[in-house]
Amino acid sequence: MSLQSASVHAPSDGNAADASLRFGPTIMARADVLAAISEDAPRVTRAYLTPEHRQAGETIAGWMREAGMQVHWDALGNVVGRYEGLTPNAPVVMTGSHMDTVRNAGRYDGLFGILSPIACIADLHARGVRLPVALEVVAFGDEEGVRFGVTLIGSKAMAGAFDASWFDRTDPQGVSLRDALRAFGGDPNGLAGLDRRGSRVVAFIESHIEQGPVLLGKDLALGVVTAIAGATRVRCMVTGLAGHAGTVPMGKRRDALAAASEMVLAVESHCSTHPGLVGTVGRLTVLPGAVNVIAQDVEFTIDVRSGVDATRLEAVTALQAQCDAIAKRRGVTLSFEPFFELRAAPCDPRLQEHLAHAIAAEGLPVEHLPSGAGHDAMEFPAVCPTAMLFVRCGHGGISHHPDETMTVQDADVATAVLLRFLETFQPS
Ligand SMILES: [Zn+2]
């Protein structure tokens, strides 16, 4: 239907009134309101525990109240809105996303996943509908980790995965997370009370822009996320022998940079030819780094991700073997040290199916895809079955950038799908 082939380049000015759209225009207008709450407007930058965080949270809280929700700020600066179910102690379906941003961000990353469920609940409220489940919408205070270098602070706290030693982390001005939280009116001692494991929460669903080009390339508005990719990061040190660029014959060199270059291409080649993998070398340092000296030491990083942990771990083993072989053939030494590992967060099969039905019921084709980026939802498998709905990004899928866009039509249909998902959800 026409929604699928909607213009993909409509920024906020694509809000032109279209009477057939129930949710999209309000969501796009609210995203514009939030985008103006920034420390460096007209850019969009909103960090954790700042005046902009407070203002954005209060604005969101106002919309939640208008939609019939009870709202509070929790101990870590998340805003939580609750719409009661048919019975007082009904099981809870949680949804939401983050209200912080990266520096010079787009206006939909995170925010869409807050604004869309608020629109759903406003609709339920207007119709006087209560569900067998209570609905909670969370606007997480920190997901991006810009200020304190810890990501997913809000969702980690709810999943019991927040390490209390992180309160000692400091921002670039030397202010600790603990002090900043207290100054904000939060409470470090309230951490334990936020843990939702073992509570009445029976599902978590996050709506989010895809932040990539896959749906756009397939001309699809929506996708069901299968898993949030796990990652391994590796630090590689290649050591060769420096020498004079003019005097050492080509056949006698132990050129660390030439060897590292072959390794970089091996990463690209391996991850290109094995489905379900992405691999990136994003940093490379060459010493001594002089135009007339053969490189002696090269340090580079590898980032490998997959929605399937076994696929990722096999890739890391294979890449190590390939890099070792290259090092041996070229007479250089290699140290290959994984320094970061994150397991994939699989989305729940039953919730994926329920979401797929909601998409099909709106007349759209169902596409399944993994998420290569991290999201708040990735912490929730520790709490309850978890799902994610991806919405197409315009402009080639660009995100974490002012050119990030989505269309009003996509915002509208994604919200209709989320509403259908929530309205037809049956706690088992
Ligand atoms: Zn995000």
CATH at residue 182: 3.40.630.10
Q: 322, 342, 362 — which closes off a domain?
A: 342
Q: Which residue has 């949270």 as its token pair?
A: 57
Binned at pLDDT 50, 70 and 90, residue 19 comes out as confident
| Average pLDDT value for residue range 365-390 | 96
Q: Does 3 reside within a domain?
A: no
Q: Are residues 301 and 400 in the same domain?
A: no
- 208 CA to middle of ligand 1, Å? 7
Q: Pick the range with the lowest mean pLDDT from 17-21, 274-278, 409-413.
A: 17-21
Q: What pLDDT, on a 0 to 100 scale, did the predictor assign at position 346?
A: 93
DSSP at 217: H
69-91 pLDDT tens trace = 999 999 999 999 999 999 999 99
- 376 CA to middle of ligand 1, Å? 8
Q: Are residues 125 and 148 in the same domain?
A: yes
Alpha-carbon gap, residue 347 to 242, rounded angstroms: 50
- 258 CA to middle of ligand 1, Å? 37
Q: What pLDDT, on a 0 to 100 scale, did the predictor assign at position 4?
A: 39
- 118 CA to middle of ligand 1, Å? 17
| Average pLDDT value for residue range 36-58 | 97
Q: Does 5 reside within a domain?
A: no
Q: What pLDDT, on a 0 to 100 scale, did the predictor assign at position 227?
A: 96
Q: What pLDDT, on a 0 to 100 scale, did the predictor assign at position 17?
A: 56
- 199 CA to middle of ligand 1, Å? 25
pLDDT beyond 50 at 3 = no
b/e burial code for range 208-221 (CB count within 10 A of at least 16 → b): bbbbbebbbeeebb
Q: Are residues 307 and 357 in the same domain?
A: no
Could you list the residue range(s) of the whole structural domain that residue 321 is in?
230-342
Q: Does 237 reside within a domain?
A: yes
Q: Are residues 333 and 358 in the same domain?
A: no
pLDDT beyond 90 at 56 = yes
- 218 CA to middle of ligand 1, Å? 22
Q: Does 267 reside within a domain?
A: yes
Alpha-carbon gap, residue 137 to 113, rounded angstroms: 9
- 65 CA to middle of ligand 1, Å? 24
Binned at pLDDT 50, 70 and 90, residue 9 comes out as very low
- 67 CA to middle of ligand 1, Å? 23
- Ramachandran class of 211: left when φ > 0, alpha when ψ lies in -120 to 50, beta otherwise: left
- 168, two tokens: 């000692």
- 175 CA to middle of ligand 1, Å? 25
Q: Are residues 239 and 190 in the same domain?
A: no
CB 27 within 8 A of CB 411: yes
- 109 CA to middle of ligand 1, Å? 5
Q: Are residues 333 and 202 in the same domain?
A: no
- 210 CA to middle of ligand 1, Å? 9
Q: Are residues 21 and 131 in the same domain?
A: yes
- What percentage of the chain exceeds 90 in pLDDT? 92
- 19 CA to middle of ligand 1, Å? 29
Binned at pLDDT 50, 70 and 90, residue 12 comes out as very low
Q: 323, 342, 361 — which closes off a domain?
A: 342
Q: Are residues 199 and 338 in the same domain?
A: no
Q: Examine residue 42 and say whether the peptide bond preceding it is cis (omega within 30 degrees of 0).
A: yes
- 205 CA to middle of ligand 1, Å? 14
Residue type, 35: A
Q: Does 86 reside within a domain?
A: yes
- 92 CA to middle of ligand 1, Å? 23
Q: Are residues 98 and 240 in the same domain?
A: no
pLDDT beyond 80 at 142 = yes
- 149, two tokens: 């270098």
Q: Are residues 290 and 379 in the same domain?
A: no
Q: 342, 365, 398 — which closes off a domain?
A: 342
Q: Are residues 80 and 178 in the same domain?
A: yes
Q: Does 2 reside within a domain?
A: no
Write the CATH number for 250.
3.30.70.360
Alpha-carbon gap, residue 258 to 184, rounded angstroms: 52
**pTM of the entire predicted model:** 0.87
pLDDT beyond 90 at 261 = yes
200-218 pLDDT tens trace = 999 999 999 999 999 999 9
- 108 CA to middle of ligand 1, Å? 8
Nearest to 78 by CA among 128, 26, 23, 137: 137
Q: Pick the range with the lowest mean pLDDT from 5-14, 118-127, 329-338.
A: 5-14
- Which secondary structure element, helix H or strand E, spans residue 74, and what is its range? none
- 200 CA to middle of ligand 1, Å? 26
Binned at pLDDT 50, 70 and 90, residue 396 comes out as confident
> In whole numbers, what is the pLDDT of the chain averaged over residues?
94
- 116 CA to middle of ligand 1, Å? 14
Binned at pLDDT 50, 70 and 90, residue 15 comes out as very low
pLDDT beyond 50 at 10 = no
Q: Are residues 195 and 145 in the same domain?
A: yes
- Give the count of domains, the chain: 2
CB 289 within 8 A of CB 310: no
- 344 CA to middle of ligand 1, Å? 17
